[in-house]
Amino acid sequence: MSPPYPKRVALAHTPTPLQHLSRLSQRTGFELYVKRDDLTGCGLSGNKVRKLEFVLAEALGQSADHVITCGKVQSNHARATALAAGRLGLKCSLVLRCQDPKHPPRPAGNHLLDVLAGAHIHWIDYAQWPDREAIMAEIARTINDSGGKCYQIPFGASNALGAWGEIRAMEELRGDLSGLPGGLEVPVSLVTAAGSGGALAGYSLGARLFGIPAKVLGINVDDYDFIVNTVGKVHREAAEKYGLTQTPVRGRDYDLIDGYLGEGYALSTPEEIEFIYEIARLEGLVLDPVYTGKALRGLLKELKNNPAAFARRIVFMHTGGIFHLFTEMPGLDRADPSVLS
């Protein structure tokens, strides 16, 4: 039985398919699947749209005519928010981080879609990034003082309300798994890229809520401690606000795997780029260099180095984000696609 979901506005094309990765399964000896949440839409693609269905429903319910959120320059969440706002007739402001706010990067990838959607962009630098919520609040006050009504969305929509999008994805996945041989009797390792921590929090809540026999594993692609803290915060808020008291336990129900951040968030090594080439040619699956590329590469390395930590059946959550491929990304044009390691 479905839980009493908060109000939702339909934005995502769901259900998304569960795809068997036959060649990778043969190569690794594991039964590998990918949940194609990169297919939730075109511009409005990825798992962020699932979160926004609930967050923007609350914004509309509060009669907001403007939304504001934040991210890095190639933020999937910011891009999805800008496009969803346009679809719903809302104005959108974005606080985006870049190297030099006085000389922001030219529009490309997600940033280009922000511009196309008409988002008003406020640039901040790395030193200002820790104060992003306060900066957004000040911009929202200015909008309100000018006669608007602004709704503030946290970084990544990573709060308990946004987590309902991932919980709903787990209800969908339960049906997917039920149709496989052995159904829900077969243990599963559920693996996702972990950036802001919201997806890891929501998936682990949903897996517990719907009785999916899965341990949820995040592959760290950003600040490790921030992700851990966010997951705990979302779990506590979900218990307090929505009564989801069956809180997942770290180590038993979910965990975060470190060691695959590489050069840093949104920075790619030649080996990471070559891996994206390889998977596109091997499975026809397009990954992005910030989230899913690092995470799937990390998963395959973990399967080789620590196979006992995983169930034989594995589901990788493709959270989308391919637009970063369409930028002047260092290494993308220099990687050697013939070196498939």
Please tell me the distance from the alpha carbon of residue 182 to that of residue 186, in angstroms, as a whole number.
6
Name every residue whose Cβ is closer than 8 Å to that of residue 188 and which is 6 or more positions away in sequence: 177, 212, 213, 214, 215, 311, 313, 314, 315
Please tell me the distance from the alpha carbon of residue 218 to that of residue 204, in angstroms, as a whole number.
10
Please tell me the distance from the alpha carbon of residue 37 to that of residue 322, in angstroms, as a whole number.
12
Please tell me the distance from the alpha carbon of residue 332 to that of residue 328, in angstroms, as a whole number.
8
Active-site residue numbers? 75
Longest dimension (CA), the chain: 60
Please tell me the distance from the alpha carbon of residue 238 to that of residue 163, in angstroms, as a whole number.
8
Please tell me the distance from the alpha carbon of residue 274 to that of residue 269, in angstroms, as a whole number.
9
Please tell me the distance from the alpha carbon of residue 139 to that of residue 66, in angstroms, as a whole number.
11
In this structure, are residues 304 and 22 in contact, taking their beta carbons and an 8 Å threshold? no
In this structure, are residues 244 and 265 in contact, taking their beta carbons and an 8 Å threshold? no
Q: Is 64 helix (H, G, I), strand (E, B) or coil?
A: coil
- N residues, the chain: 341
Please tell me the distance from the alpha carbon of residue 4 to that of residue 74, in angstroms, as a whole number.
34
Give the DSSP H or E segment for 245.
Answer: none
Please tell me the distance from the alpha carbon of residue 125 to that of residue 292, in angstroms, as a whole number.
25
